[in-house]
Amino acid sequence: MHLTQETDYSMRIIYCLAKSGRRMDAASISEAMSVSLRFSLKILGKLAGAGLVNSYKGMRGGYELARPADQITLKEVLDVAEGHAYAISRCLCEGEECNRGMSGCCVFQNLWAQITGEVNQTLSGITFADMIERDAQRQPAKTAP
Amino acid sequence: MHLTQETDYSMRIIYCLAKSGRRMDAASISEAMSVSLRFSLKILGKLAGAGLVNSYKGMRGGYELARPADQITLKEVLDVAEGHAYAISRCLCEGEECNRGMSGCCVFQNLWAQITGEVNQTLSGITFADMIERDAQRQPAKTAP
DNA sequence: ACTAAAATATACAAACTTAGTATATTTTGC
DNA sequence: GCAAAATATACTAAGTTTGTATATTTTAGT
């Protein structure tokens, strides 16, 4: 029913890179996220493979966003992390046609498609720059004391 | 990521009972849904336990809706079938606080809560009577030839 | 009262998914 | 050349889902 941990971590990792604006190595990221180094590396590999982050080997290597934060949407990250687009019901996924009961294309599929569409639209309308903005709004002016 | 099969079947079972308007035994329901009798029984037990359907033992026994179809919402059935309310992310569920990284209550939680709220609101605004209506709308007047 | 048709309760198990780990290898800056 | 990084590949442990099986209880009809 829920998005996976991997999706959760992926979001945070991209957010972290977006906020820092600099290249970071996996160890720093994993520490900032409180996720094991191994698992962070696995996820970063996936994100790099999908072209959301660029990776650099060797000393001074690490990861950075492949595009500016205002050009990466939540939907993109979710799709990569989950392996496919968000869908509230399985019956909307390819190769998983609902052929039980209900004559032909059922009423529920119709409804699930509607909800799924709304969620995806929301997610594709929000970038990581927006998220940073949102966070700033929530924490009202933490200026020097 | 998806609602479970059990939720899918639960929806259809309630829909089936709503449409028939009569008491039906598990065998008839399972046949109509193309789901095994055993599994149907298991799900029907859950629905009966939650008070969504009434069950009757013995000959001429079976199941019927506990309330009229226009007083049972999709949200109610989902909550029973899944065991808890819909939430897009785990971090919204009780006893699953997200305490990793992100200072305090994170921006993502905020967003997930918003999306989750919208989905739940949609689901609680639709009854099974509405679903029957919806289906009729989709299948344009299948009157005699 | 007896019998057959139903639901109920409880437990079990197989398959799949998720979450995370381990090992060995490759690349690159210094 | 060496050490710091990523990469590739494979493995495993735990949890969840999707059922199935067995034995029991209740009730209508005769």
Write out pLDDT tens, residues A104-117. Answer: 468 899 999 999 99
- Is B56 contained in some domain? yes
A-B CB pairs within 8 A amount to 109
Report the 10 Å Cβ neighbour count for A85.
16
- Which of B97, B91, B106, B89 has its CA nearest to residue A132? B106
Domain around B73: 5-138
A115-135 average pLDDT score:
97
Of all nucleotides, the one whose C1′ comes closest to residue A24's CA is: D5
Say what the pLDDT of residue A60 is. Answer: 93
Helix (H, G, I), strand (E, B) or coil at B56: strand
Report chain B residues whose CB lies below 8 A from the CB of A107. 15, 131, 134-135, 138
A91 interface with B at CB cutoff 8 Å: yes
Q: What dihedral angle (degrees, nearest 10) is formed by the CA atoms of B15, B17, B18, B20? A: 120
Of B2, B11, B100, the CB nearest to A34: B100
- pLDDT, averaged across chain A: 91
Say what the pLDDT of residue A48 is. Answer: 98
Report chain B residues whose CB lies below 8 A from the CB of A83. none
Please enumerate in sequence order all residues whose Cβ is within 8 A of that of B79, keeping only pairs 6 or more positions apart, or say none.
B85, B86
**How many angstroms is C1' of C30 away from CA of A84?**
42
- Is A42 contained in some domain? yes
- Is B143 contained in some domain? no
- Is B145 contained in some domain? no
Say what the pLDDT of residue A138 is. Answer: 79
Q: How confident is the model at residue B141 (pLDDT cuts 50, 70, 90)?
A: low
- Is A129 contained in some domain? yes
B21-57 pLDDT, tens digit per residue, is: 999 999 999 999 889 999 999 999 999 999 999 999 9
- Which of B109, B112, B103, B93 has its CA nearest to residue A33? B103
Name residue, tokens 């919402």.
B73
A12 interface with B at CB cutoff 8 Å: yes
Say what the pLDDT of residue A142 is. Answer: 52
B62 beta carbon < 7 A from strand C?
yes
A90 interface with B at CB cutoff 8 Å: yes
B18-23 average pLDDT score:
96
Handedness of CA B66, B69, B75, B80 (dihedral sign): positive
What's at A127, amino acid-wise?
T
- Is A144 contained in some domain? no
Say what the pLDDT of residue B143 is. Answer: 56
B47's enclosing H/E stretch is helix B37-49
The answer to whether B33 contacts A8, with C-beta atoms less than 8 Å apart, is: no
Of B1, B102, B126, the CB nearest to A12: B102
Q: How confident is the model at residue A129 (pLDDT cuts 50, 70, 90)?
A: very high
Say what the pLDDT of residue A101 is. Answer: 47
Chain A residue whose CA is closest to B81: A1
Tell me the pTM.
0.91
Q: Give the angle A138-A139-A143 at the CA atoms, nearest 5°.
A: 150
- pLDDT, averaged across chain B: 91
Say what the pLDDT of residue A98 is. Answer: 66
Handedness of CA B103, B104, B105, B109 (dihedral sign): positive
Say what the pLDDT of residue B38 is. Answer: 95
Which pair of tokens denotes residue A115?
């909800």
Residue B122, domain CATH: 1.10.10.10
Say what the pLDDT of residue A94 is. Answer: 75
**How many angstroms is C1' of D30 away from CA of B59?**
13
- Is A143 contained in some domain? no
Counted domains in chain B: 1
Burial bucket for residue B140 (CB in 10 Å: 0-12, 13-18, 19+): exposed
Residue B53 sits at φ, ψ, to 5 deg, of -130, 155
